[in-house]
Amino acid sequence: MLLLLFSAMPPASAGLYTDACGMIWADASVPFERDNETAYNEELMTSYAPIMANLTEAPDLSNMTWNDAFRETCAYMKERYAFTEWRGVDWDALYATYAPKIAQAEENRDSAAYYRTLREFVYAIPDGHVLVLSPDDFGAKHADIGGGYGLAVARLDSGEVIVTYVANGSDAERAGIRFGDEVISWNGRPIEDAIDATEIIWTPVKPSTAEGIFLHKLRFLARAPVGTPADIGIAGPEDSIPRTINLTATDDGYETLARTSIFLGREVNDGAAGSSAELRAMLTNETVTTRTLPEGIAYIAVYEESYDVYQPFKAAVKDAIADGAPGIVVDLRFNRGGDDNLAAAYGGWFVDRPVFYEYGTTYDPGTGKPAVLWESWTQPRPDRYEGPVALLVSPYTISSGEGLPKVFAESGTGAIVSWYGTNGAFGMESLGPVLPLGVMTAFPTGASLDENGRIQVDSNASMVGGVAPTVRVPLDRDTLARAMAGEDVQLSYAVDWIRAQAESTTAKPSAVPTQAAAGWVVVLGALAVVAVWYGRR
């Protein structure tokens, strides 16, 4: 999602960095309540006023050799990346690892190997905002993961890795593999080692936490080049001998990835999607969708944070209030981010006290250091909804999509319901250098800081981050069987939580403490003379 960068006269605030800020939003809902996008764009531009004169356009390296362009890109990212220390990124080691592969691809004029190596490079950095963007994968994706084995797996809370899906008519089915069978080895390796060695460079939404990475390793374990054999060790029933089954990967249209997308609450073939934008188009053309659940509970799904989302979101909440809804479910499981202030504004409809949202920073080329450009707060709406609210999240809840869960986590509002936490990528994303063959780069040049000036939400060097569920749905044979049969199990748990609040109190939702964390979206900053592309998570 591309947005213009802009800001206006700052209101009074006692914030830590007030004197340095280009803009202060003491109530993030104000620019959306007034419903004047032009005025808001001007405010956003003002937020960059302290560093406007220093901003420069990202370099176009498309006419360089592949190897030279890669070297210059690494140097550019090393200078400007916001989380080098936070995530422990060794840029020199990364360059030394991938530059020879880029040089070899160039020598062979192998576009697929070139693009694959670029993806390996960015996926070596556990940040969902560090990306390469290309209209063409040069056939590399299908060559790598176009084949499936007719089965998919998941790991239970108990630690067992079990079969969760077997394709009808597949060799896996003919070999007698069934739902719930425990997988103990893959190609001679213990199953945990095989999972750990699995590449996930073709996910359309890049994970940033250890939890998210492991989920996708499970999903991509059963993907391989078409024609690749695999020996799969299946534990036998009690008192019987484990057996090894040999299968060969066939072109299944990424079916096993579609069938393991249940963390989104629905089946969607994210394996066929080349980007989060393509995946979003598979889900809906709307920015907000609503419906009424049993017992009058309101359901609101929000897919991004663009200026035009606030009014339909507000209308949906006000309808829930007018209808006397006993609870609201806000579904953010596929929210690909956008404007942080909008995420902060959502929170005002549910919190009962002011919540500090962030100090927004970005790299200042003039000083070579990060500069704090804005301060933002969530303020409770006087006409807010006061019943129980459950948020649904997933590892595809990324960037400013993680903002409302962050507000809930910090304020103790409602519940965050999921199998998994959010993505853990919450920085201020910018477009980086343009590389040969039309490949673009993006990475965060700024961080979101909490009230004490500490990085918030983005995963750290231990890959811990994101916003964790306060109501964690069990991963067991029962919940997985229900999900594979088509039930939205996480939604069922959210509804059950709301019912429990209604039974225990008729006044306020439960306050459940939680672990906070982390944001993505590319923000287009038409910055006067320098035409700089900037993005917010």
pLDDT score for 503:
86
Kindly state the greatest CA–CA separation across the chain: 75
Q: Where are the alpha helices (DSSP H) in 453-532?
A: 477-484, 489-504
Is the Cα torsion angle 80, 84, 87, 93 positive or negative in sign? positive
How far is 516 from 485, CA to CA, in rounded Å? 32
How far is 243 from 245, CA to CA, in rounded Å? 7
Phi, psi dihedrals of residue 233, rounded to the nearest 5°: -90, 120
pTM: 0.90
Query: For residue 534, which of 10, 82, 20 has the smallest C-alpha distance?
Result: 82
pLDDT score for 13:
41
415 and 494 Cβ atoms separated by less than 8 Å:
yes
How far is 226 from 223, CA to CA, in rounded Å? 9
Helices (H) and strands (E) in the chain, counts: 17, 22
Beta strands in 303-380 (DSSP E): 328-331, 355-364, 369-378
Helix, strand, or coil (residue 223) = strand
Query: For residue 492, which of 404, 424, 392 has the smallest C-alpha distance?
Result: 392
How far is 46 from 9, CA to CA, in rounded Å? 9
Sites in the chain below the pLDDT cut of 70 = 1-21, 237-239, 505-537
524 and 58 Cβ atoms separated by less than 8 Å:
no
Axis-axis angle for helices 340-347, 403-411 (nearest 10): 40
pLDDT score for 241:
85
Following DSSP, what letter does each residue of 357-375 receive, concatenated? EEEEEEEETTTTEEEEEEE
Q: Which residue bears the tokens 């960015």?
A: 122
pLDDT score for 505:
66
How far is 233 from 266, CA to CA, in rounded Å? 30
Is the Cα torsion angle 362, 356, 307, 20 positive or negative in sign? negative
How far is 464 from 379, CA to CA, in rounded Å? 28
Cβ burial 391-428 (10 Å sphere, 16+ → b, else e): bbbbbbbbbbbbbbbbbbbbbbbbbbbbbbbbbbbbbb
Q: Which residues pair with 471 in a beta bridge?
A: 417
pLDDT score for 276:
85
How far is 351 from 392, CA to CA, in rounded Å? 17
Strand pairing category for 471-472 and 428-435: unpaired
65 and 106 Cβ atoms separated by less than 8 Å:
yes
How far is 338 from 401, CA to CA, in rounded Å? 7
Query: For residue 335, which of 378, 293, 288 has the smallest C-alpha distance?
Result: 288
Q: Which residues pair with 189 in a beta bridge?
A: 186
Question: At a CB cut-off of 8 Å and minimum separation 6, what does 206 contact?
Answer: 122, 123, 127, 128, 130, 131, 425
Question: At a CB cut-off of 8 Å and minimum separation 6, what does 190 contact?
Answer: 184
Half-sphere exposure of 527 (CA within 13 A, CB side): 25
